[in-house]
Chain A
Amino acid sequence: MMSQPTVPQLFWVEVAPFVVLCIWALAIILADLFLPAERRRVALPLGFLGVVLIAYLSIQAFEIPGNPFGGMLTLDTFAFFCIVVILVGGGLTILISPRYVQREHIPHGEYTALLLFAMLGMILLAVSNELITLLLSLEILSLSLYILTGIERHNPRSSEAALKYFLLGAFSTAFLIMGIAFLYGATGSTFLVTIAERLPAAGQQSALWVFVGFGLILAGFCFKLALAPLHMWAPDVYEGAPTPITAFIATGSKVAGFAALWHVVMSLADWQAMTQNTFYVLWIIAVFSMVIGNFAAIVQKNIKRLLAYSSIAHSGYILITILVIASVPAVRTNATQALLYYLMAYMLMNLLAFGVAIACGRKGDSNIEHYAGLARTSPLLAAAMALAMLSLTGVPPTVGFVGKFYIFSAAIQAGYLELAIIGLLASVVSAVYYLRVIVVMYMHEPSREAAETAREPVGAANSLALLVSSVMIILLGIFPFWFLGLK
């Protein structure tokens, strides 16, 4: 039986954020073509304006829950929070970029447009409720990020990072597509809602295909989210990519990836056969990520590599919430809240750390030794970095503490006491390397050359980004419900 295609009704307000963002990015590329060289710097402010506009349109779109494009997208509360996090992250990334882009002679127009395309992929990934849409959004996101990673054309390290990111990213996409094929083969649909409906009736053979499909999809996501056995690309890519892009890869693509994983897991979570078997896989990945990420970070000398391993560990913490959501329906609401809050917290902490790294990194220099005596040469930057490190460790009253508290309490409520304990011990280990950065900044003497050469000014936009993220780290840490009560 051939299903009759019907033209779905489309409400402009529901799709406006996505359509406008796409047009905005294209317009920036076009404008860049016609503007004289000295005026091209206008691209980044235009990009920021675009993010503000999209934020406004998103609030309009999410007034009423809807399912535009025939149910391929879903505008629910979860997606709303993810989009808030992504837009905050994208906006801050644009704010920390100008100095770096100027210094490394990166073309402004392409940079901004690709950043906006990556954001388009992210917000589409957060709302996609269908596997083809999910795949295409992930590709929009990934392809933009491959190019952005290699956008420093005359820096061989940037090209090498792009090569590694591209090869492993494309490899993982192949797994994802094969996984989608098997889920489709088991249920005959690519809509996650329909898949969830048809699963209980699945026979033994279909069940096997669902397992294979979910396993392959999970492998694909593990690559994209830098989760433990498949995390090897992350440190190299983070080190080689332009620093603002590293910040964006570390934060935005993880938020979007976890949002998509949440949608997939939710469609399978009510199926009894699934919950009992996925438990072990997710458990092992979470533990591996936390342990490997934290221990490998201890020996790192480069701040970007250190943050890369720390991001692997943080992915492990976040995966605990996915595990709880998949296996214990009673705690699902709490775990989802913990997931959303931690994504916001993780985004703010990392953007602050990378923002400081941009502000005080000279060309190609992100060695931790370079931060020696930063407290004396630029006390405010050192304070911001210290705040980021304390928050990443999980010290109250920062977002990092509240986020970890939510995650571990959700784990304990769900009966995963051992996971909470492993997570806490891993956090203690993480204190070793986070605090080392603070020690270097506050206790070590600045090198003579660093003390003599005047540091270049941080720049208004970057200062604003650092200020906003610092204030939010503290305020949301004290009043977590300001974020969770948004909708």
Chain B
Amino acid sequence: MTSYMINNLVLSLAIFSIGIIGFLVKRNAIAILMAIELMLNAANLAFVTFAYSFASVDGTILVLFVITVATAEAAVGLAIFIRIYRSRGTIDVDKMTTLHG
């Protein structure tokens, strides 16, 4: 494992962890969505790093698919957020307490 790989993977895992922490501590749905996007892009960085080390195109192509997935998710997610905001005037996830046991 060469040094660029170590650097990239450490960076990737760091971004991924920041995403997880963001998901857990943020209360605004948009901020949570941004944290998820961070995690997806951390995975993209890992894909490119591995693809470079194998000198194969598979990993690079995978990144394009992940970007597409992330976009589709953002589109659906933002639509849901708007729906929630219209009916409640807030997208704070702590206020989502209608459903509970």
Whether both chains belong to one complex is answered with yes
Asked if B56 and A177 sit within 8 Å, CB to CB, the answer is: no
Contact present for B56 and A157 (CB under 8 Å): no
Residue pair A305, B87 in contact (C-beta under 8 Å): no
The CA-CA distance from A157 to B99 in the complex, in Å, is: 7
Task: List 18 A-B pairs, Cβ < 8 Å.
Answer: A132-B62, A143-B76, A146-B80, A156-B88, A157-B99, A163-B80, A163-B91, A166-B80, A167-B32, A173-B40, A174-B16, A178-B16, A181-B43, A182-B46, A188-B50, A188-B56, A240-B99, A302-B101
Choose one: B56, B59, B62, B72; the contact of A139 (CB below 8 Å).
B72
**Distance (whole angstroms) from the CB of A114 to the closest CB of chain B:** 11
B83 and A162 form a contact (CB under 8 A): yes
Among B19, B98, B101, contact of A235 (Cβ-Cβ < 8 Å): B101
CA distance A431 to B62 in the complex (A): 47
Max chain B CB contacts within 10 Å: which of A162, A205, A300? A162
CB within 8 Å of A: which B27-52 residues:
29, 32-33, 36, 39-40, 42-43, 46-47, 49-50
Give the contacting residue for B77; candidates A139, A166, A236; CB below 8 A.
Answer: A166
Asked whether A164 lies within 8 Å of B1 as measured between CB atoms, the reply is: no
Q: Is A135 an interface residue (CB 8 A)?
A: yes
How far does the Cβ of A302 sit from chain B's closest Cβ, in whole Å?
A: 8
Q: List residues of chain A with CB within 8 A of the CB of B69.
A: 135-136, 139, 173, 177
Report chain B residues within 8 Å CB of A235.
Answer: 99, 101
For chain A residues 199-258, which have a beta carbon within 8 Å of chain B?
A: 205, 235-236, 239-240
Complex Cα distance A333/B1, Å? Answer: 40
Whether B65 lies near A167 (C-beta < 8 A) is no
Give the distance to chain A from B81, nearest Cβ to Cβ, in Å: 7
Q: How far is the CA of A307 from the CA of B40 in the complex (A)?
A: 33
Contact (Cβ within 8 A) B50 A160: no
Chain A, interface size: which category?
Answer: 35 or more
The chain A residue sitting closest to B61, CB to CB, is A132
Given contacts A147-B76, A171-B23, contact A184 B47 (CB under 8 A): yes
B65 x A135 contact (CB < 8 A)? yes
Please give, as numbers and ranges, the residues of chain A lying within 8 Å of B88 by CB-CB distance.
Answer: 156
Whether a CB of chain B sits under 8 angstroms from the CB of A82 is no
B36 to A170, Cβ gap below 8 A? yes
Q: Do A163 and B40 have beta carbons less than 8 Å apart?
A: no
Beyond the given A156-B98, A160-B84, A164-B96, please list 11 additional residue pairs across the A-B interface where CB-CB is below 8 A. Answer: A132-B61, A135-B65, A139-B72, A157-B99, A174-B40, A175-B39, A178-B46, A185-B50, A188-B56, A296-B101, A299-B101
In the complex, the answer to whether A178 meets B98 with C-beta atoms within 8 Å is no
List the B residue with the shortest CB-CB distance to A131.
Answer: B62
- Asked whether A239 lies within 8 Å of B77 as measured between CB atoms, the reply is no
* A1 & B73 in contact (Cβ 8 Å cutoff): no
Q: A2-B57, A184-B58 are in contact. Are A174 and B36 (CB under 8 A)?
A: yes
